[in-house]
Amino acid sequence: MISKEMIEDLKKRVDKEALVSNMSVSELIYDIRTKHHKKELELMDFIIEDIKNYEKRNPQLDDKISETFGEFKRMTFELKRHFEKEEFEVFPMMIMSNVDNKELLLKISDLENEHGKAEERIVKMTKLSDNFSYKKEDDNLSFIYRKMQELFADISEHESKENGVLFPRFERSVSNPLL
Ligand SMILES: [Fe+2]
Ligand SMILES: [Fe+2]
């Protein structure tokens, strides 16, 4: 049955999406940098620190945990470079008016591929950790899982703003310059 809370949640989500889709390119970029990049960088550093401490306390990690941590470290390394690419190369190009659109579109397509890669890694970590339940009776591990899930939820919202709202603004302007 649909509860009042579910309807309220849905309303909030629709309002939020409408707000995002009405933002200008500069407002979107500001929102992404200040809300998502900053928060995710902090969360990634925090989780990496926790993983290092966990590894120190448990030198004999089993395969599933060590592979989950390995995926997380690789994703963190790649996403940090991805955010830098966005902030220092692609976002400035999006704000400038006299840019080579072909070059911008190529860069956007690279970024979309990188989003796909991060999503693949998240799916892999979810499977490896049995949906974040593997050995979760270990409080330290279950804390790491909780923080990971918080980060992944933010990444998903962040990527849908880029793939679904920001990037299509440029794809549309090239295929139909009148829009
Ligand atoms: Fe981003
Ligand atoms: Fe991105």
Domain boundaries along the sequence of the chain: 61-167
Ligand nearest to the CA of 163: 2
For the whole model, what pTM was predicted? 0.89
Contacts of the segment 24-33: beta carbons below 8 A, 24+ positions apart: 25/94, 25/95, 25/166, 25/169, 26/95, 28/161, 28/165, 28/166, 29/91, 29/94, 29/95, 29/166, 31/161, 32/86, 32/158, 32/161, 32/162, 32/166, 33/87, 33/91
pLDDT at 78 (0 to 100): 98
pLDDT at 97 (0 to 100): 76
Contact in structure between 87 and 37 (CB atoms under 8 Å): yes
pLDDT at 177 (0 to 100): 44
Contact in structure between 21 and 165 (CB atoms under 8 Å): yes
Instruction: Give 131 Cα–ligand 2 centroid separation in angstroms.
Output: 24
pLDDT at 72 (0 to 100): 98
| Cα–Cα dist 78/75, whole Å | 5
Contact in structure between 118 and 79 (CB atoms under 8 Å): yes
151, with CB counted inside 10 A (0-12, 13-18, 19+), is: buried
| Cα–Cα dist 85/38, whole Å | 14
Instruction: Give 16 Cα–ligand 1 centroid separation in angstroms.
Output: 18
Local structure of residue 178 (DSSP, 8 states): T
pLDDT at 3 (0 to 100): 85
CA nearest 53: which of 151, 139, 160?
139
Q: Which residues of 13-35 are buried (b: 16+ CB within 10 A; e: fewer)?
A: eeeeeeebeeeeeeebbebbeee
Instruction: Give 79 Cα–ligand 2 centroid separation in angstroms.
Output: 8
Q: What is the pLDDT along the chain (179 residues), one digit of tens a residue?
A: 778 888 888 888 777 887 898 999 999 999 999 999 999 999 999 999 999 999 999 999 999 999 999 999 999 999 999 999 999 999 999 999 788 899 999 999 999 999 999 999 999 999 999 999 999 999 999 999 999 999 999 999 999 999 999 999 998 655 444 44
Q: Which residue has the tokens 């072909």?
A: 102
Instruction: Give 37 Cα–ligand 1 centroid separation in angstroms.
Output: 6
Ligand nearest to the CA of 112: 2
pLDDT at 103 (0 to 100): 94
Ligand nearest to the CA of 34: 1
